[in-house]
Amino acid sequence: MIYPHLRLAASPHDRLGVHRTDQDWLERRWADPASRVLVVSGTRVRPVDGVLPWVSTADAPDGVRVLLGERDGDTYWAVIVGPEAAASQEGEWYPLRGLLPGLAGDGAADAPLVFHALGLAEWHWVTRFCPRCAGTLEPRSAGHELHCTSCGRAQFPRTDPAVIMLISSGEPGTDEEMCLLGRGPQWPPGRLSTLAGFCEPGESLEDTVRREVAEETGVLVGDVTYFGNQPWPLPQSLMLGFIGRAKTTAIDIDEHEIAEARWLTRAQMREETAAGTLVLPGGVSISRSLIEHWYGGPLPGSW
């Protein structure tokens, strides 16, 4: 089975990391008429008729050039300009979250390139000064390094590991087996998802799963197995999916983290999604893949 979230990473590009410091090579590729550029204003891009416009290098504005890599023989770039560019041009500019529906559909092939571009744009946006001496930073390595002009320290993009987990209880595969879903405080009633959280320093991913579930719901988790991962630069995460088996079922929620947590059987999940009283994450998310993997097939409805 090809899980829906894997579509966002199904067409990886060659990132050409060995060429990021080769200025002659970079200039030749930039001059190639076949090269294509995604213009990013701050951390936003502007679709045209629902499609992301990859322009020629000749039509690209001045800005920070970021080498994304090569796909099907063509070189892809991003040019990062200030957020004022979006304010001065017609049309709506979207952050990555607003682009996900399109990237999951006809634009799926571009998803790895867009994730790469906007992930680096977000890093450039939040990394304005050297964290050691507050000196000025200048881009190097085709946008993949920031060099401090005062102390010489190099900064590199960071990716925060985040876990997302489907926790089950009861005899696997039986009518009595249940899975645990929760609702964030900002979500409307009926909207549920798998639990998730960030890894802390010195912590294994499996222990992160156990800690986050215990903190948010009071449920204790035993065995934890890896499921899959999904790039999620919102703003700079990698979602790592896991399946866990509960040792307890009593729920005691942390109201600062979630508003509701429920155990659901497959029958309950089927009935409530069909009725629209239970709304699950969209097919583009690893959360949906985890839920449908446990359920054993596709389910109706999404948000």
Percent of the chain with pLDDT over 70: 99
Which residues, other chains included, contact 297 with Cβ-Cβ below 8 Å and sequence gap of 6+? Answer: none
Q: Which of 105, 77, 123 is CA-nearest to residue 10?
A: 105
CATH architecture, domain defined by 160-295? Alpha-Beta Complex (3.90)
Domain boundaries, the chain: 4-126, 160-295
Residues 76-119: pLDDT tens digits? 999 999 988 877 777 889 998 888 878 877 677 899 999 999 99
User: Which pLDDT score is estimated for 282?
Assistant: 85
Interatomic CA distance for residues 128 and 130, integer angstroms: 7
Q: How confident is the model at residue 1 (pLDDT cuts 50, 70, 90)?
A: low
Q: What's the predicted TM-score (pTM) here? A: 0.89
Interatomic CA distance for residues 254 and 219, integer angstroms: 11
Burial class of 54 by CB neighbour count within 10 A (0 to 12, 13 to 18, 19+):
middle
Tokens of 209: 């799963």
Secondary structure class of 107 (helix, strand, coil): coil
Residues 239-293: pLDDT tens digits? 999 999 999 999 999 888 899 999 999 999 999 999 999 999 987 889 999 999 9
Average per-residue pLDDT for the chain? 93
Tokens of 227: 């499921």
Beta bridge partners of 198: 162
Which residues, other chains included, contact 36 with Cβ-Cβ below 8 Å and sequence gap of 6+? Answer: 54, 55, 56, 74, 75, 76, 77
Q: What is the CATH number of domain 4-126?
A: 3.90.79
Whether 160-295 and 4-126 are alike in CATH topology: the answer is yes
